[in-house]
Structure 1
Amino acid sequence: MQEERNKASIRGKITIKGVLKLESPLRIGAGEQGTKEADVYVLKDRDGNPIIPGSSLAGVLRANFSHSPLVDDLFGFIHYDKKEKEVQQSALVVSDIVLSNAEIVVRDGVSINHETGIANNGAKFNYEVVNPGAEGNICITITLRENDLDNIDIIKNDLDNIDIIKNEGDKIAELLCSGCEIGSLTTKGFGRVYCQEVKVNYYDFTRPEAVRAWLTKQPVDEEKSFKRVQNCWNENEFVVEGEFSINGSLLVRQTPDDVMGSVTVAAKQMEGKDKKGKDCFIIPGTSIKGVLRHKAKDILGTLGIKDFEKKLDELMGSSAKGKSRFWVDEVCIDKSNVIYEQQGRNKIDRFTGGTMSGHLFADIPVWQISPWDKHGDGAWQRKPIKPAIKIRYGIKNCKPWEAGIALFLLKELCLGKIAVGGGKSIGRGTLTGVGAVIHFNNECIQLNKYGQVQGNSVAEHLSKLNDYEKALLGDR
């Protein structure tokens, strides 16, 4: 007679390990910590190292597996049925991730009024972020208990319950390699993380050697390795990657740390790190998304789209409609592609039209390096304009009319009708399109600087772009 197993007995464990790396700035806030250097602080351990709590990563994983029939079995649940409460413990244990090589910086922020386009009074704030390039060890353990395996019920599946759980572990590894978002402001270019390689080990506790390997932290025979997958867009995700040159000067304000000579420097172009940890100038995703939302509202209103404010809230998020499906990436500007110079300015008395005494100040914006080159004979020759910045934005679970508004935004950016950063009234921040790539439904559509479709299947791709425009214009 076969001995009945204890329902709480452990049948095995699955470990998922890798090195998690920041591809964009990270902000997981810890609130005020007793100083006034910033309004929002990065969460740190007792040694001052920034951390990603295991609860944050577990929440991200659960959200990405919300459509899986095993979501409750893996992540646990609390179900209320009238006066009774049913509880199941999570099978996953996610450890905190301590980030090394981490550089914490303080950024300036300001709340912009979407109606007027100017800063709200008293809405200036500072916040800490962890620059890209930091990394930390990730460790996820899935415990397979007898009772949990018995509860799994997937109809019409030829795999046994243990193999089903193994497949879910593989999917977690694939997600980490393709990348995910953690922390706050994830639709504004923050919190993008990934693993270059993830190793998955399965310990079958019905085998004595596997138990010994687990207790002595030794590798097992059954190990899988997953590699980094870049630009793996989700199904039905509309992504626009545009390359642009800078028409004049550009300035996203950052409070300087010093004074140049006798002139007070009011602001300089914001600096940061790119995904490789290299110093660069940046345009934060908060700025990019803010101007795109403002322009989208103008476009929808001008076109006479029905209930456009409600639709815009559903697309780009609001306190009433929930999280945004429209996301942007932070823009990194290679310092070798631009120059920066001190630009002296005077404050003007708006009543008299004259300069105000003692109000000389300077800004330090950036300009794109001139496309004109002087030859030995004194003649000037214009070189091809190279892109100085790359703007990437997308829409998750994109509807046809939403793809239409994304294309309208690309057009406005290319024509210089959307100014980025400060100083719009003095001509700063306008761009010119150099080229673009559109990804949607496993297709890639390339556009040149004139907005013309390139490559193969030109007629087919052009027809699809026109259909998106018609879907937008049809709801009037």
Structure 2
Amino acid sequence: MSVVHILLAELELTGPGAVAAPEAHTVGSVLRPDLPLARDGWGNPYVPGTSLAGSLRQHAPRERRRDLFGEVFKDPDKNAENGREETTAIASPVRVLGTRLTLPEVPAMRRRRTAVDRHRAAAKATTLHDRELLPPGTELALWLRLDTETTESALVDEVVALLGTWQPRIGGGRTTGYGRAELVAVRHRVVDLSTPGGLRHWLTIGGPDLVDDQAAVVYERAQRAGGAPDEPYLFGMALEFRITDALHIGTGTFADRSGRRSGVAQILRDHEGIPVVPGSAWKGVLRARVEFILRSVGIGDVCISVEDGASGSCGACVVCEAFGWTERAGTMADDGTPAKTIGARGRLLFADSPVREGSVRVRNHVAIDRVFGGARDEALYADETVEDGHVALHIRHDKAVPDLVRAALVLALADLADGAIGIGGGTTRGYGSLAAQRTTTDWLTAERTTAVNTLRAHRTSEAHAPVHATEEAPA
């Protein structure tokens, strides 16, 4: 191998995202987020090369993954003395040399989330947590190395073509809009070690400077795509809603008010200061409603994903299949041993929804004295709200979604448009009510009948299903 090929892939985060490092959260670091960013030895945020290598491998055609990125597997052609299959490891010809992050002027973001109690329809106790995120606009450089015999290589061309169609999702939270990145450019530097110039460059230059001004640009983004993720829409389009009164999705922080006794509960904003409905809020509200609808019509065994005393999501029903699931740590398995925390990523993807044309205002509230009927002393509080705005709901999917979930999701969206459910906090006192725009209203009207018929047909098929004999209940 006398020719070294260095590929520099330049990416840009088009939404918030991060690789979390929960192991870095130690006792006593209560002021740090529950899921802090992964950081290097100098305390700078970074993305491990393994995260990108795994994403790129997953993007490659299945039949080419072993040849491009290696594999560790059980070889049936090789048996050890004890009769077991030997493990064979094939090294990857594509080496990930490292990554480097360049953050924009805005600092790292922090977002807080909480689960919703299915019975009280309010925040569930002990579920508040926050995570640290890289802001959109963060630049990410990835260096790859391939060694060949000649300067022209079909393997290098294949890797460049693979990079050109790559749409990486970095870190966790993909189903709630985190981690989306776009490939900006790919630069290719050939270092021929059989020539004096190539050998001099290799021996005297190191690190990122190996890719210098002699590198060829083999891929360049035509234009910035931006917006929501690129996966197909579940319903063929984004759904448009308007805020009918006020919306408050809080951050758990308060802004001081001079001369006032209490602060103002802040609303969530994106990196540009625009009020936003996070993908996690859409996903939580709609999942809860889909669970409720399917249980109400008596379809299958649908879990209650945050039910007290349960082990979390069941991982077996159609809702878990579509929305994803996780098993709570600390629960017990059937044999009495501690259950392992496992789960699966959902098929539905929910993106953040910036609020357009809305006005931000502060609403004051006060508790009422139950005895005297007047305002209670020192009980004044205030919420920051956004009013009269418009939001677009982006629901996409990367795998087929069960028909039952799709039908129930249509009915859940109809309930949202009718005001039966709301989004954010204070939904029982006028906050969070949405109304569908004309195009979305017409679509919901047309789809509602089909959704009802889908659920009715499934109930009919279950009712006429044959009953099989068992030992406990003989035929």
TM-score (norm 2): 0.74
Letter in 2 for 1:318: W
Structure 1 residue 42 displacement after superposition: 1.4
SS in 2 for 1:411: helix
State yes or no: 1:32 paired with 2:25. yes
- Structure 2 match to 1:357: 377
Letter in 2 for 1:474: A
Q: For the residues of structure 1 that align with 2:190 and 2:169, how far apart are their CA atoms?
A: 29
Q: How does 1:344-383 map to 2 (within 5 A)?
A: 344-348=364-368, 355-368=375-388
Structure 1 residue 339 displacement after superposition: 1.8
Deviations 1:116-136 (A, max 9, x none): 432222333333222222223
Deviations 1:152-185 (A, max 9, x none): xxxxxxxxx953662343122221xxx3311121
- Structure 2 match to 1:92: 94
Q: For the residues of structure 1 that align with 2:181 and 2:216, how far apart are their CA atoms?
A: 29
2:323 pairs, out of 316, 322, 325, with: 316
- Structure 1 match to 2:246: 249
SS in 1 for 2:344: coil
- Structure 2 match to 1:79: 73
CA contact (8 A) 1:239 1:392 kept: no
1:171 pairs, out of 155, 158, 162, with: 162
- Structure 2 match to 1:421: 424
Structure 1 residue 359 displacement after superposition: 1.3
- Structure 1 match to 2:256: 258
SS in 2 for 1:172: helix
Letter in 2 for 1:258: D
Question: Cα gap change, 1:422/1:247 in structure 2, threshold over 3 Å: closer, same or farther?
Answer: same
CA-based RMSD of the aligned residues comes to 3.5
Question: Cα gap change, 1:291/1:232 in structure 2, threshold over 3 Å: closer, same or farther?
Answer: closer
Q: For the residues of structure 2 that align with 1:448 and 1:213, how far apart are their CA atoms?
A: 64
1:404 pairs, out of 392, 404, 407, with: 407
- Structure 2 match to 1:438: none
1:474 pairs, out of 457, 464, 470, with: 457
- Structure 2 match to 1:450: 442
- Structure 1 match to 2:172: 184
Question: Cα gap change, 1:141/1:417 in structure 2, threshold over 3 Å: closer, same or farther?
Answer: farther
Q: For the residues of structure 1 that align with 2:287 and 2:293, how far apart are their CA atoms?
A: 10
Q: For the residues of structure 1 that align with 2:353 and 2:39, how far apart are their CA atoms?
A: 26
- Structure 1 match to 2:13: 22
SS in 2 for 1:120: coil
Question: Cα gap change, 1:59/1:469 in structure 2, threshold over 3 Å: closer, same or farther?
Answer: farther
- Structure 2 match to 1:5: none
CA contact (8 A) 2:270 2:276 kept: yes
Q: For the residues of structure 2 that align with 1:75 and 1:473, how far apart are their CA atoms?
A: 48
SS in 1 for 2:284: helix
- What number of residue pairs does the alignment pair up? 404
- Structure 2 match to 1:111: 115
Q: For the residues of structure 2 that align with 1:283 and 1:234, how far apart are their CA atoms?
A: 20
Q: For the residues of structure 1 that align with 2:139 and 2:275, how far apart are their CA atoms?
A: 22
Structure 1 residue 91 displacement after superposition: 2.2
Structure 1 residue 64 displacement after superposition: 2.7
State yes or no: 1:298 paired with 2:292. yes
Question: Cα gap change, 1:350/1:14 in structure 2, threshold over 3 Å: closer, same or farther?
Answer: farther
Q: For the residues of structure 2 that align with 1:237 and 1:210, how far apart are their CA atoms?
A: 54
Structure 1 residue 227 displacement after superposition: 3.5
CA contact (8 A) 1:236 1:397 kept: no
Q: For the residues of structure 2 that align with 1:469 and 1:398, how far apart are their CA atoms?
A: 20
Structure 1 residue 304 displacement after superposition: 3.4
CA contact (8 A) 2:2 2:194 kept: no
Question: Cα gap change, 1:221/1:144 in structure 2, threshold over 3 Å: closer, same or farther?
Answer: same
CA contact (8 A) 1:346 1:360 kept: yes
Q: For the residues of structure 2 that align with 1:448 and 1:120, how far apart are their CA atoms?
A: 31
Structure 2 stretches lacking a partner, 5+ long:
76-83, 203-209, 304-316, 328-342, 460-475
- Structure 2 match to 1:343: 363
Q: For the residues of structure 2 that align with 1:207 and 1:84, how far apart are their CA atoms?
A: 39
Letter in 2 for 1:357: D
Structure 1 residue 245 displacement after superposition: 1.0
Q: How does 1:152-301 map to 2 (within 5 A)?
A: 162-163=153-154, 166-175=157-166, 179-195=167-183, 197-199=184-186, 201=188, 203=190, 215=202, 217=211, 219=214, 223-228=218-223, 230=225, 233-234=230-231, 240-254=237-251, 255-273=253-271, 278-301=272-295
SS in 2 for 1:72: helix
SS in 2 for 1:344: strand
Question: Cα gap change, 1:234/1:344 in structure 2, threshold over 3 Å: closer, same or farther?
Answer: closer
Question: Cα gap change, 1:426/1:232 in structure 2, threshold over 3 Å: closer, same or farther?
Answer: closer
Letter in 2 for 1:392: H
Structure 1 residue 203 displacement after superposition: 4.2
Letter in 2 for 1:183: G
Q: For the residues of structure 1 that align with 2:218 and 2:194, how far apart are their CA atoms?
A: 16
Letter in 2 for 1:21: E
- Structure 2 match to 1:432: 435
Structure 1 residue 71 displacement after superposition: 0.8
Deviations 1:6-50 (A, max 9, x none): xxx3565362422x2221111322231663223221122344432
Q: For the residues of structure 1 that align with 2:180 and 2:380, how far apart are their CA atoms?
A: 41
Deviations 1:262-291 (A, max 9, x none): 241351211222xxxx32112222211100
SS in 2 for 1:450: helix
Letter in 2 for 1:358: E
Letter in 1 for 2:89: V
Deviations 1:221-265 (A, max 9, x none): 794545357478457966541121100010011212423432413
Structure 1 stretches lacking a partner, 5+ long:
1-8, 147-160, 369-386, 436-446, 454-461
CA contact (8 A) 2:189 2:211 kept: no
Structure 1 residue 360 displacement after superposition: 1.5
Q: For the residues of structure 1 that align with 2:352 and 2:377, how far apart are their CA atoms?
A: 39
Identical columns (%)? 21
Q: For the residues of structure 1 that align with 2:423 and 2:258, how far apart are their CA atoms?
A: 26
Higher strand fraction (1 or 2): 1
Q: For the residues of structure 2 that align with 1:69 and 1:351, how far apart are their CA atoms?
A: 75
Question: Cα gap change, 1:398/1:465 in structure 2, threshold over 3 Å: closer, same or farther?
Answer: farther
Q: For the residues of structure 1 that align with 2:353 and 2:149, how far apart are their CA atoms?
A: 46
CA contact (8 A) 2:68 2:92 kept: yes
